[in-house]
Chain A
Amino acid sequence: MEFLSDLKDQVSTAYELLAAGWGVQLLWGIAWTLAVTVISMLIGAVLGSLVAAAKLSHRGGLRLIGESYTTVFRGEPELLIIYLFYYGGTQVLTGVARSTGSIGSTDILNMPSFLGGVLAVGIISGAYQAEVFRGSFLAIHRGELEAARAYGMSAWLRFRLVIMPQVLRLAVPGLGNVWQLTIKDSALISVTGVAELMLTANKAARSTHHSLLFYTLAGILYLVMTSVSTPIFDKAERYTSRSFTRPK
């Protein structure tokens, strides 16, 4: 019975803390996390398709660039890349601003933490997306590309009408995985001070001394985000492959 009343106390403290403003803060944290993830995915999509094209290229130099990109950004700890973009960005910005004289010689021009974080996570996401796009391109039936050539389609037309629609269809499951990965990576940019879910939970835990409560809440909210996206990607997969489903 003591346990039950203890639990009741816990729940009521949790409710009070959340109603006192931390609930709204956490919701904002979710919004920021989603914003970071979506923008990083978009940056990653652009970089990923370029890198995939480079890796599939006939030119050895381009292939080498593509290979090194995916090796480096998948082989380094995410934290290191994030620090590199945030602190390294600050170093570069400060150097440039000092040499042009727009700030004093002892001032520091900080990298905007959101920009640094999104760039870092986007570039990591791009390395994984490149592999997804490359795999999907290789899964396209060779005969279709040959047929498109035989019709005399230009490279651009081939890309637009034959390659891109199929790559997008085949890439959906892989992109779903990268999306989950990017949500989890976005938690790491809390170290640079972007007020996303992880940092909000951190702040709440430190200022209220209820770390168990807030970290558990953060964990649950991440679980909700990752599990809500699964059926969405399933649906996207069904939609994009609707002409390929077997008749019942």
Chain B
Amino acid sequence: MTHAGSQPADDYTIDELMAVCIARQVQDGEILAHGMATPLVAAGYILAQRTHASHAYFASAIGQGVVRDWAPLSITRAETLWLGKALTHVSFVVIAADLLRAFAPKEFFRPAQIDSSGNFNNVAIGSSYERPRLRLPGVAGIPDVSVHSSQMYLYVPRHSRAVFVPRVDWITGLGHHPDRQEGSGPRYLVSDLGQFDWYDGRMRLITVHRGVSIQRIMAKTGFDLAVAAHVQETPAPTREQIRLLREEIDPLGVRRLETLAGAARRDLMRAILEQEAALDTRD
């Protein structure tokens, strides 16, 4: 990395800062589980692998493989990496029944609701399960892994009182819960407002992102948030990290699908698909 590249960047966006925060949580040599439709996490993982964690392995949901290689983020071309460049593949039955405990991958989950203890919900919003206010796609392997994992990390692209709630409607991801028999509950959470850990079983603010006040985070959190003694600003990304994200890891901006909603998200999706179609024609 050049001297200029290691300088802090002035010009960065929230999705880029979150990807960098995710990358900083990765240690070299780890196995990193890629979830389904989590491009912000994928951007952070690849950034880590391209910088300080060159021996990281990826465990993929697409293709159920182990991958050392990487490719720019994509919607329609993801299989070129996950199927074309994997070291090995198994079926999902083998992953779920035989391998997840042994491999103990680090994984970033995105809760739809989370409480102060780090219990989270991804099944449905509303107190009636039969007639929910909003049925969510489903919990995949979260209720299986969260009960024993010590490698559970979380991210919330849009911090709000709808997500950070006093009590989740359903616990589908086990937090720092009295019934826990193994593992640790979530260790870390990054949102678009700050970074958090768990202290004495309670979620605790540790850094605020640039331009965000502690008061604003408390106002957007639906429970009594613990605050670390010396809350500082989240360190800015380096210029080289931003260059890698924009030019090499995610030139199409797929990561931003996680921070946008509604029409803006649809427009970005269309733009990405058009650019990928152009790439297909060129190949």
Does A associate with B in a complex? no
Could you list which residues of chain B lie within 8 angstroms of chain A, going by C-beta atoms? none
Which residues from chain A sit less than 8 Å from chain B, CB to CB?
none
